[in-house]
Amino acid sequence: MNRHAALSVVLVALIAGIPISAAAFTLPQDPQELMAIAVLELEANNVEVGEVRAIAERLRVKLTEKRDTFEVVERNRMESILDEVGFQMSGACNTNECVVQVGQILGVQKMVAGSVSKVGNLYTLQVRIVDVATGRIEEVAYEDVAGIEQVLTDATGDVADKLAAAVSGQPEPARQEQAERGVDPIVPSDTNWRQNAHHDGWVMRFGSGPRGGTGSRTALVTGTEVTTDISGSGLGWELMIGRAIRPDFLWFFIASRTEIYGPDITVSNPGTTTTSKDSRLGIEYAGLGITIYLEPKNWWGSLAVVSTTYDFLNDEIGTETTSDSAAGVYLALGKDWWLWKRFNFGLTARLVYSENVSLLGLGVSFTLDVTRSR
């Protein structure tokens, strides 16, 4: 019922002498009426104050974009009004008494206050809407993310959506989109956390698969330089233990061994021979490196400096040869798929090369976020 219709009903009732309760005179609120709000500086808990000021300003911008719900007082205007009345406010104003007092001075209906906190590697943006007239906290919204950059770029928008949805009674945009697609908007879709998942904290990856490798050695035999290559294909395993410097950027320690049975032996003179199936070539490497997760999501690349060795057991003549360690390079490219919130499955291609070892392989990997859950 619009305003004209409501007035018509009241006039007819008065003329007819029909008793009317006080509630009948209450006209419906204009749906275009905006809520006047102001956003205070956020409290910084274990976070740089300058970063928190930038986050508070971005939150103002995100709330201003909710043009159908909020009318936001600009920061400069807010500071000017407070200066005019001589109100001194140093840092964040987070007690309810302070929040209400500032709201009364600004002449707004609601105030937005909150904090940015860091615990371990987890950042939290938490805000609340306080009614200036009653001092009551009406709505609270928060977002947990893996980095301070995500607080600025992602959490501010998500919190603004939640506050606008709570005030207007409309579903959040993400949930509205899910509802239109026939997805239950109450239960978050599994794809959401997979798209936003990051490695943060201690990470362990174990992989295994087929590999082809060569162990090479050059020696002087009766004054002639002879190169011996022992090569073949087999299976290997690899263990990586890493720590996130920042989300999806890890340093790691890696160790691996590959077993090749019945390898071929190529000597510069006299030629190529094949050993018995009981002969074995073992290739090992260990070292330190970095992993960077790339776009599109969950592609990653690794680079490491490793120490390589090989050992060869020749059952035909009953001798065992062990090479000296040599510095080499490790390169890997992989793709991961999240299975659970701390565990994913992947495919990996890798290359190891040094003076005495070359190794090329494919394999599957399983990665566990040891100290991080989503």
Confidence (pLDDT) at 57: 92
Confidence (pLDDT) at 196: 66
Confidence (pLDDT) at 278: 67
Looking at the fold, whether 180 and 213 belong to one and the same domain comes out as no
Longest dimension (CA), the chain: 128
Alpha carbon of 319 to those of 117, 220, 314, 322: distances in Å?
Answer: 63, 19, 5, 10
Looking at the fold, whether 122 and 49 belong to one and the same domain comes out as yes
Confidence (pLDDT) at 179: 46
DSSP state of 152: I
Looking at the fold, whether 93 and 179 belong to one and the same domain comes out as yes
The CATH number linked to 140 is: 3.40.50.10070
Q: What whole-number distance in Å separates Cα of residue 170 and Cα of residue 147?
A: 29
Confidence (pLDDT) at 87: 81
DSSP state of 175: H
Residue 194 falls inside a structural domain: no
Strand partners, 212: 233, 360
Q: Which residues of the chain have pLDDT under 70?
A: 1-32, 89-92, 169-196, 220-223, 269-278, 295-296, 315-318, 372-374
What pTM was estimated for this model as a whole? 0.51
Alpha carbon of 233 to those of 239, 262, 264, 362: distances in Å?
Answer: 20, 9, 10, 12
| Beta strand pairing call for 35-39 and 326-340 | unpaired
Residue 6 falls inside a structural domain: yes
* Residue-range definition of the domain harbouring residue 278: 201-369
Looking at the fold, whether 9 and 44 belong to one and the same domain comes out as no
- Could you give the angle at the alpha carbon of 206 between the alpha carbons of 203 and 211, nearest 5°? 140
Looking at the fold, whether 225 and 268 belong to one and the same domain comes out as yes
Q: Which residue is associated with the tokens 């893996």?
A: 146
Residue 17 φ then ψ, to 5°: 75, 25
Looking at the fold, whether 238 and 292 belong to one and the same domain comes out as yes
Confidence (pLDDT) at 307: 97
